[in-house]
Amino acid sequence: MPLHTYKCKYGHISEELYRQGDKVYGSIECEICSEVSYKELPMVASTPSKWGDSHGYFNRDLNCYIKNSQHHDQVLKEQGLVVTTKNNLMDQAQRKENWIKETDKKTAELKQMIATTPV
Ligand SMILES: [Zn+2]
């Protein structure tokens, strides 16, 4: 019997056990907060870079033949690309936030300098 995992926007995890032939829902109500809980992808689908390790495949996004996951990473690097993962997006958001903080600080310093400069 397949077990499906659902997760709401607050990170509450619910597990539903389905019998063969049961309709599998894409979303259910969270048992804890009653928000919409979405079905999580199975493990194999959440690790796309490990696909094709036993036999290569043609990657249409990269427009080339990929031999294995190391080759996939190498091609991404060569093309200056990054896999869109939650962590990568969080890192990017953090860098942007740091940049904004730094810019705000410089703006405040500049305003202070202008205010204290005699005309
Ligand atoms: Zn919840």
Q: Quote the mean pLDDT of the chain.
A: 82
Compute the average pLDDT of residues 53-78: 83
For 87-109, what is the mean pLDDT?
89
Q: How far is the CA of 8 from the centre of ligand 1 (A)?
A: 5
* Cut 0.85: pTM above it: no
110, 102 contact by CB (below 8 A): no
Which of 66, 43, 62, 41 is CA-nearest to residue 54? 66
The Cα–Cα gap between 30 and 79 comes to 41
Mean pLDDT score, 29-56: 72
**Is the pLDDT score of 111 beyond 70?**
yes
- How remote is the CA of residue 35 from the centroid of ligand 1, in Å? 6
- The β-bridge partners of 15 are 5
Q: How far is the CA of 7 from the centre of ligand 1 (A)?
A: 7
Cα-to-centroid distance, 47 and ligand 1 (Å): 25
Lowest mean pLDDT across 64-68, 87-91, 98-102: 87-91
Give the DSSP H/E element, type plus range, for residue 96: helix 86-116
Integer Cα distance of 33 and 13 in angstroms? 11
Give the distance, in angstroms, between the CA of residue 102 and the centroid of all CA atoms in the same chain: 26
SS3 label, residue 29: strand
Distance (Å, rounded) from C-alpha 101 to C-alpha 24?
45
pLDDT score recorded for residue 70: 84
